[in-house]
Amino acid sequence: MSHPIVRWERVGEVAVVTVANPPVNTITAAVRVGMFDAVAAIRSDAAVRAVLVLCEGSTFFSGADIGEFSGPPKEAEYRDLFRQYEQLPVPVVFAMHGTVLGGGLEFSLAGHYRIASPGTRFALPEVTLGIFPGAGGTQRLPRLIGADKALEFILSARPVDVAGALAMGILDAEIPGELRAGALAYISSLLQSGKGPRRTCDRSIDPASATPEIFERLRASARKQYPNRNAALHAIEVVEHSLPMSFEDGLLYETEQANVAKVTDEARALIHVFFAERETRKVPDLPRDVAGRKVASAGVVGAGTMGGGIAICFANAGIPVTVLDTTREALERGLSVMGKTYDSMVKRGRITEADKATRMALITGSLAYEDLGQADVIIEAVFESLDLKQQIFRKLDVIAKPGAVLATNTSTLDIAEIAKVTQRPQDVIGMHFFSPANVMPLLEVIRTDHTSAEAVRTTLDLAKPLRKTPVLARVCYGFIGNRMMEGYAREAQRIVLEGATPRQVDTALETWGMAMGILAVFDMAGVDVGVNVHRANADRYPPDPTYYQADVALYEAGRLGQKTGKGYYRYLPGDRTRHDDPEALALLKAAATRLGITPIEHTDEEIVERCVYALINEGFRILEEGIAIRASDIDVVWAAGYGFPRYRGGPMFCAELIGLKTLHDGILKYRDRFGPMHWEPAPLLVQLVREGRSIAQWEQTRS
Ligand code: NAD
SS3 155: helix
**Atom 15 in ligand 1: residue holding the nearest Cα:** 382
The response to whether residue 410 sits with its C-beta less than 6 Å from ligand 1 reads: yes
Q: Say if residues 65 and 28 touch (Cβ distance below 8 Å).
A: yes
What's the chain's average pLDDT?
Answer: 97
**Atom 10 in ligand 1: residue holding the nearest Cα:** 302
In whole angstroms, give the CA distance from residue 226 to residue 439.
23
Looking at residue 647, the DSSP 8-state letter turns out to be G
The residues, any chain, with a CB within 8 Å of residue 478's CB and separated by 6 or more, are 411, 412, 484, 485, 486
The response to whether residue 431 sits with its C-beta less than 6 Å from ligand 1 reads: no
Report angle CA 656, 659, 660 to the nearest 5 degrees: 85
Q: Say if residues 616 and 651 touch (Cβ distance below 8 Å).
A: yes
Taking only the tens place, the pLDDT of each residue in 227-256 is: 999 999 999 999 999 999 999 999 999 999
Taking only the tens place, the pLDDT of each residue in 454-498 is: 999 999 999 999 999 999 999 999 999 999 999 999 999 999 999
What is the rounded average pLDDT of the residues 620-644? 98
The response to whether residue 383 sits with its C-beta less than 6 Å from ligand 1 reads: yes
What is the rounded average pLDDT of the residues 640-665? 98
In whole angstroms, give the CA distance from residue 219 to residue 340.
40
Residues with active-site annotation: 106, 126
Neighbours of 39 (CB within 10 A): 23
pLDDT recorded at residue 69:
79
What is the rounded average pLDDT of the residues 110-119? 98
Q: Say if residues 631 and 618 touch (Cβ distance below 8 Å).
A: no
Neighbours of 35 (CB within 10 A): 24
The response to whether residue 303 sits with its C-beta less than 6 Å from ligand 1 reads: yes
The response to whether residue 435 sits with its C-beta less than 6 Å from ligand 1 reads: yes
**Centroid of ligand 1 to alpha carbon of 303 (angstroms):** 7
pLDDT recorded at residue 70:
77
What is the rounded average pLDDT of the residues 90-114? 98
The response to whether residue 396 sits with its C-beta less than 6 Å from ligand 1 reads: no
Considering the chain, what percentage of its residues have pLDDT values greater than 70?
Answer: 99
pLDDT recorded at residue 73:
82
pLDDT recorded at residue 460:
98
SS3 250: helix
Q: Which residues pair with 366 in a beta bridge?
A: 324
- The number of the ligand 1 atom at minimal distance from the alpha carbon of 388 is 18
pLDDT recorded at residue 46:
95
Pocket test for ligand 1, best of 312, 325, 435, 523 (most atoms within 8 A of CB): 325
What is the rounded average pLDDT of the residues 138-154? 98
In whole angstroms, give the CA distance from residue 150 to residue 236.
10
**Atom 44 in ligand 1: residue holding the nearest Cα:** 411
Q: Where are the beta strands (DSSP E) in 367-511?
A: 377-380, 405-408, 428-433, 442-447, 469-474
**Atom 43 in ligand 1: residue holding the nearest Cα:** 434
pLDDT recorded at residue 526:
95
- The number of the ligand 1 atom at minimal distance from the alpha carbon of 410 is 32
**Centroid of ligand 1 to alpha carbon of 446 (angstroms):** 18
How many CA atoms, within 13 angstroms, populate the side-chain half-sphere of residue 34? 23
The response to whether residue 413 sits with its C-beta less than 6 Å from ligand 1 reads: no
Check pLDDT > 70 for residue 703.
no
Check pLDDT > 80 for residue 356.
yes
SS3 96: strand
The response to whether residue 451 sits with its C-beta less than 6 Å from ligand 1 reads: no
Q: pLDDT-based confidence at 176, cuts 50/70/90?
A: very high
End-to-end CA gap in the chain: 50
pLDDT recorded at residue 1:
54
pLDDT recorded at residue 475:
97
**Atom 4 in ligand 1: residue holding the nearest Cα:** 304
**Atom 17 in ligand 1: residue holding the nearest Cα:** 326
* Predicted TM-score (pTM) of this structure: 0.94
**Centroid of ligand 1 to alpha carbon of 400 (angstroms):** 20
Q: pLDDT-based confidence at 3, cuts 50/70/90?
A: low
What is the rounded average pLDDT of the residues 389-403? 98
- The number of the ligand 1 atom at minimal distance from the alpha carbon of 391 is 18
The response to whether residue 307 sits with its C-beta less than 6 Å from ligand 1 reads: yes
In whole angstroms, give the CA distance from residue 225 to residue 619.
29
